[in-house]
Amino acid sequence: MIIRSVEFAGSVASPKNPLPGDLPQVAFSGRSNVGKSSLINTLLRRTRKKVAHVSSKPGKTQMLNFYRVNDRFFLVDLPGFGYAKAPGPVRDSWKRLVEWYLASPDGPRGVVHLVDGRHPPFRLDQEMMEYLGELGVPALVVLTKMDRVPKGKRERTLKKAAGDLGLAAEQLLPFSSKTGEGRDSLLEALDHLLPSENS
């Protein structure tokens, strides 16, 4: 897939809000501070004029943010979960919003779930994978910040993460927003998930 155009299409803050269009959707999820905004900007080649806001404070994304890519699909940036400093009611509202969206008939064709490659998956990561499995939503796990993982520990890191999440090691994709590692492979995976551009 070649990224030709990216446009912010709108946000959804409540199940009462309509989606910004009927294009196929792929959602990106992960804990706060996992590097989701950096990955999205790297993936879409928007590192100078960023589309997803990169903040030093986790929990910046509080709505479902839709980006129209190539007029072909929506990339949907989900609120980061596990942000301890957000008030409990706020975290609960994010959780309800995300669960409504993922379970919706008009929801995503698949979810790219991000896990920080420097640390073992958290229980919340495992719960997300279990939830997606129950819904029957295809999921791809991307290990972020892999440039910070020593080469001698990469294979062990992949095997550990796969075991914790109940996946085969080849179901995990190493990624680095700094070096661009994994970008082409992730775009290829999205291409397979979406309808062909000629259909």
**CA–centroid distance for 153 within its chain:** 24
How much is the average pLDDT of 1-28?
92
pLDDT bracket for residue 171 (50, 70, 90): confident
Look at 31-35, 71-75, 109-113, 147-151 and tell me which has the smallest mean pLDDT: 31-35
At the fourth CATH level, the homologous superfamily of domain 6-193 is P-loop containing nucleotide triphosphate hydrolases (3.40.50.300)
Give residue 183's pLDDT: 95
How far from 140 is each of 127, 143, 160, 173, 183, CA to CA, in Å?
15, 10, 16, 8, 13
How much is the average pLDDT of 102-126?
93
pLDDT per residue over 52-96, tens digit each? Answer: 554 444 444 578 999 999 999 999 999 876 544 555 555 567 678
Answer whether 93's CB lies under 8 Å from 106's CB.
Answer: no
Give residue 32's pLDDT: 79
Greater confidence (88 vs 170) lies with: 170
How far from 16 is each of 12, 49, 53, 73, 79, CA to CA, in Å?
9, 31, 25, 22, 17
pTM comes to: 0.87
Q: Number of C-alpha atoms within 13 angstroms, CB side, residue 151?
A: 0
Give residue 52's pLDDT: 55
Q: What is the mean pLDDT of the chain?
A: 85
Give residue 59's pLDDT: 45
Instruction: Measure the CA–CA gap between 191 and 185, rounded to whole angstroms.
Output: 10
Backbone angles phi, psi at 74, to 5 degrees: -100, 125
Q: Which residue has the tokens 């989900």?
A: 78
Q: What percent of the chain has pLDDT over 70?
A: 84
Answer whether 71's CB lies under 8 Å from 20's CB.
Answer: no
Structure tokens belonging to residue 31 = 């804990």
pLDDT per residue over 18-61, tens digit each? Answer: 999 999 999 999 987 888 889 999 999 865 555 555 444 444 45
How much is the average pLDDT of 7-27?
92
Domain ranges of the chain: 6-193
Give residue 84's pLDDT: 47
